[in-house]
């Protein structure tokens, strides 16, 4: 069963979960407005999950599907990641952008079966910084794209992987 089928066949469960969360929030005396404030945009966002970009199988296709057009190499994007990752199932990646007006950060792993690992979009107040851990199937280029003022910028670095983490 593909993940698309999963999403399409289970909206009822999602709604029930949401209802349960709201109910729970109300009963324990936490403002339901707050829970709504967190979960309602989440529902809207989930519908926007960029399936085509995430399922693309080559870096070229993934970049195209993510809407990345003519990215310019930039030294204002700092990528912190290990040179050698012994465990491909847990590779720490930290990205800081010094590009003014940074709107989002995209993390790609060129040689993963699906190169796009994640996207991070910043709204009012969030610093153009993110740190997370990703899975890498093998030694690969880590490609970070930053969208700033409607333009795209890119930085890369290689991470050598001793034991791949895609089966994890």
Partner 1 sequence: MPDPIRMRIKLTDGIADVRVLIGHPMETGLRKDAKTGELVPMHFIETVSATLNGKVVLEAQWSRAIARNPYLQFRVRGAKVNDEIGIAWIDNHGETSSAKANVPPSS
First-to-final CA distance of the chain: 19
Q: By CB under 8 A, what part of segment 132-151 binds partner 1?
A: 132-136
In the complex with partner 1, the residue whose CB is nearer, 36 or 73, is: 36
Closest distance to partner 1 from the beta carbon of 110 (Å): 12
Judged on CB neighbours under 10 Å (0-12, 13-18, 19+), 12 is: exposed
**At a CB cut-off of 8 Å and minimum separation 6, what does 13 contact?**
none
Q: By CB under 8 A, what part of segment 49-88 binds partner 1?
A: 49-50, 54
Is residue 68 helix, strand or coil?
coil
Q: Which residues lie near partner 1 (CB under 8 A)?
A: 1, 3, 6-7, 10-11, 13-14, 17-18, 21, 30, 33-35, 37-39, 41-43, 45-46, 48-50, 54, 89-92, 94, 109, 112-114, 116-127, 129-136, 165-168
């Amino acid at each position: 069963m593909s993940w698309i089928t999963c999403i399409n066949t289970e909206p009822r469960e999602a709604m029930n979960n949401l209802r349960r969360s709201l109910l729970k929030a109300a009963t324990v005396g936490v403002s339901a407005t707050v829970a709504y404030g967190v979960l309602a945009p989440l529902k809207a966002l989930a519908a926007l999950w960029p399936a085509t970009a995430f399922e693309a199988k080559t870096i070229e296709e993934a970049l195209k599907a993510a809407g990345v057009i003519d990215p310019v190499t930039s030294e204002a994007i700092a990528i912190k990641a290990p040179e050698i990752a012994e465990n491909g199932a847990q590779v720490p990646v930290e990205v800081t952008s010094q590009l003014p007006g940074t709107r989002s950060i995209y993390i790609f792993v060129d040689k993963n079966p699906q190169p796009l690992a994640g996207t991070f979009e910043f709204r009012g107040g969030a610093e153009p910084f993110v740190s997370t851990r990703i899975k890498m199937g093998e030694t690969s280029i880590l490609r970070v794209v930053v969208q700033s003022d409607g333009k795209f910028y890119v930085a890369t670095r290689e991470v050598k992987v001793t034991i791949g983490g895609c089966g994890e």
